[in-house]
Amino acid sequence: MSSARTRRGSGAAIRPRKGGARVKVPRKIVSKLPVEQDSANRLARLAFGLFALAIAGVAAAAVDLPGRAWSAFGEQMGSAGFRVRSVDVVGVKHMDSKPVFKIALDQQSTAMPLVDVEGIRQRLLRYGWVKDARVSRRLPDTLVIDIVERQPAALWQDDSKLSLIDDDGVVLDKVKVTEMPDLPLLVGPGANARSRELQSLLGEAPNLRPQLESATWVSHRRWDLNFQTGETVALPEGNADARKALAKFARLDKSAGLLGRGIVRFDLRVPGKMIVRLPADAVPQGDKPAQEG
C-alpha cells in the first residue's frame, strides 16, 4: 500500500493530472460561490490558462514575432523570383509618369508579398493629377498601377502664380505664362474653389461663354466677368441674384449687342438696374447702350 495518505476531513483535495498545474480554490472562497469545489477548481484552471495565453500573446507581439515571420516568408518568396522587376502604369495622358514610378519603387522591400500596395495608392492620391488609383500585383514580378487622372478645366491666377485646375478647383500643375492652354482664367484668392460654381453660372448665358476671357473673384463675395472685347460685367453677390442678373444681361446683349461697343464696365450689382461706365476719353459711336432704371 502506498505511503501516501489522505487525511480524513482535510477537504476535497484534487489530485492534479500528470504534467498539469495544480490549481485549487480555497474553501472559504468556494463557500461563497454557487458552485462545487470541483467546478470552482476547473474554472480556476481555465482562467489561469487563458491568462497565461494572453501573457504569451503580449510577449510575442512585443518582440513582433508575427511581423518577423511574415517578413521572413516574404523575403523567401522574393528569393524564389517573386520580386518587383517592372511597373506597368496605365491611364496616364496629361501628367508626368515619372513620379508614379518613383513612388511605386520607393519600398523597403521589393519582395512581392511585402510591397505595400495601399501605401502606394495613398501616396499617389496626394499627387495633384491623380483623382484615383488602383495598385495590384501581377505575379510573378510586376506592379500594375491604373491611374484615373483629373481633367483640366481652367487656369487659376493668384498673385503671380498661374496654375492648372480641375472642376473641383484642385491644383494639377504649375503653368508658364508662355504655355497657357486655351482654358477659362479664374483670378483672385479662392477663385479656384469656385470653379464649378462659375461653370454653372455661365450655363445661364451660353451665348456669352465663348466670349469670356477671365473671371475675377472679388473680395471672396462675387464675380467680375471680363470679356474678350474689353468689357467687364460686375455681378451681384449671391448665386441666385448673380444667375438672374447674368441671364438678363445675356438677353439684352443678344437683342441689342451690348458687348463690343466700347463700353468699359456694366455694373449689375444694383437690383433692377444696369449702370454703365464709358471710357474717359471716348464716346461710343452709334446708338447709346441700353440702360435700365
- Greater confidence (47 vs 285) lies with 47
- Cα dihedral 2, 3, 4, 5, rounded to 10, equals 100
- Looking at residue 176, its pLDDT comes to 87
Cell numbers standing for residue 37? 469545489
- Looking at residue 161, its pLDDT comes to 92
Q: pLDDT by residue (tens digit) across 177-210?
A: 888 888 989 999 999 999 999 999 999 899 999 9
Q: Average pLDDT in the 45-72 region?
A: 58
Task: Name the E strands within 139-274.
Answer: 142-149, 154-158, 161-165, 171-174, 185-187, 212-218, 222-227, 232-234, 265-267
Q: Average pLDDT in the 136-151 region?
A: 94
56 torsion bin: left (phi>0), alpha (psi -120 to 50), beta (else):
alpha
Tell me if 87 sits within 8 A of 142, measured CB to CB.
yes
- Greater confidence (108 vs 84) lies with 84
Q: What residues form DSSP beta bridges with 224?
A: 216, 234
Cell numbers standing for residue 181? 492652354
Q: Average pLDDT in the 223-239 region?
A: 96
- Looking at residue 22, its pLDDT comes to 57
Closest by alpha carbon to 256, among 219, 214, 288?
Answer: 288
- Looking at residue 155, its pLDDT comes to 96
Domain residue spans of the chain: 27-62, 82-149, 154-277
Tell me if 162 sits within 8 A of 175, measured CB to CB.
yes
154-277 belongs to CATH 3.40.50.20: no
- Looking at residue 101, its pLDDT comes to 93
Tell me if 186 sits within 8 A of 164, measured CB to CB.
no
How many Cβ atoms are within 10 Å of 244's Cβ, its own excluded? 16
Q: Do the domains spanning 82-149 and 154-277 agree at the CATH topology level?
A: no
- Looking at residue 267, its pLDDT comes to 97
Q: What residues form DSSP beta bridges with 26?
A: none
Mean pLDDT computed over every residue of the chain: 81
- Greater confidence (291 vs 101) lies with 101
Q: Average pLDDT in the 266-293 region?
A: 73
What residue spans of the chain are helical by DSSP H?
Answer: 27-30, 37-62, 65-79, 98-105, 117-125, 195-202, 239-256
- Greater confidence (44 vs 171) lies with 171
CA gap 198, 217 in Å, rounded = 10
Q: What residues form DSSP beta bridges with 174?
A: 163
Q: Is 291's pLDDT higher than 80?
A: no
Q: Of the ranges 43-47, 104-108, 140-144, 243-247, which one carries the lowest mean pLDDT score?
A: 43-47
Cell numbers standing for residue 221? 463675395
Split at pLDDT 50, 70, 90, the class of 275 is very high
Q: Is 59's pLDDT higher than 60?
A: no
Tell me if 88 sits within 8 A of 145, measured CB to CB.
yes
DSSP 47-79: HHHHHHHHHHHHHHHHTTHHHHHHHHHHHHHHH
- Looking at residue 29, its pLDDT comes to 54
Q: What share of the chain in percent tops pLDDT 70?
A: 72
- Looking at residue 290, its pLDDT comes to 47
- Looking at residue 30, its pLDDT comes to 45
Q: Which fold has domain 82-149?
A: Ubiquitin-like (UB roll) (3.10.20)
Amino acid at 216: T
Q: Is 258's pLDDT higher than 80?
A: yes
Q: Of the ranges 59-68, 73-82, 170-179, 215-224, which one carries the lowest mean pLDDT score?
A: 59-68
Q: Average pLDDT in the 92-120 region?
A: 90
